[in-house]
Amino acid sequence: MNRNKRHLIFSRLQAHNPKPTTELHYSSSFELLIAVILSAQATDKSVNKASENLFKKANKPELFLKLGEAGLKKYIKTIGLFNTKSANIIKTCKILVEKHAGNVPETRDELEALPGVGRKTANVVLNTAFGQPTIAVDTHIFRVSNRTGLAPGKTVLEVEKKLLKMIPSEFLHDAHHWLILLGRYTCIARKPRCGSCMVEDLCEYKHKSEAT
């Protein structure tokens, strides 16, 4: 896919949604971190439902430590892998208090050193909380990148590196959210809604389909 086509794709996405953001509900970098950890193999809707009451009870790492692992489980038991997530979140809160004065660190290495935080989670926090131009490649972005021809790759990391290189710089900050929303609501897995896609004419999946 050439640069002009990539620029047109993101120009349209920007025009349709000038200020995109995550669908997870949060009011601080800490709440975002917890929400993203909870969202692994879970829907944003289910996380928001659980975190609404959780964050009313505890919205700082010190308060999570007082809540404890057993107390935390009561709030997130409707979310998949809640046992593992509870353990990791409490361990993470302890590190935040002991090593970061209760604050969420702003570097990838420090974030990935936290239990339950991998590269994708770190990228979401760096981008959404701290405004860094990162791309958190989830299943939606991986699918969209390969299907459209925007940044094809066999691994998540390969796709991430290609996106960072190929997305025009003026769109890089918000590209993560645009691509997730495109994959979540239009370029869906089983039967993409091509007819309602704003970049259908620029998508290489469409052209490949017509050629076969």
Alpha-carbon span 148 to 159, nearest angstrom: 12
d(CA 132, CA 127): 5
Tell me, yes or no, if 138 is annotated catalytic: yes
Q: Is the dihedral of CA 120, 22, 131, 151 positive or negative?
A: positive
Q: Give the C-alpha distances (Å, rounded to integers) separating 69 from 3, 58, 82, 173.
A: 49, 13, 10, 35
Q: How far apart are CA 26 and CA 157, in angstroms?
A: 27
Active-site annotation holder among 44, 138, 174, 206: 138
The span from the CA of 3 to the CA of 195, in Å, is 24
Place of tokens 């975002």: 32
Catalytic annotation, pick one of 44, 120, 174, 206: 120
Annotation says 120 is catalytic: yes
d(CA 40, CA 37): 6
Residues annotated as catalytic (active site), given as ranges: 120, 138
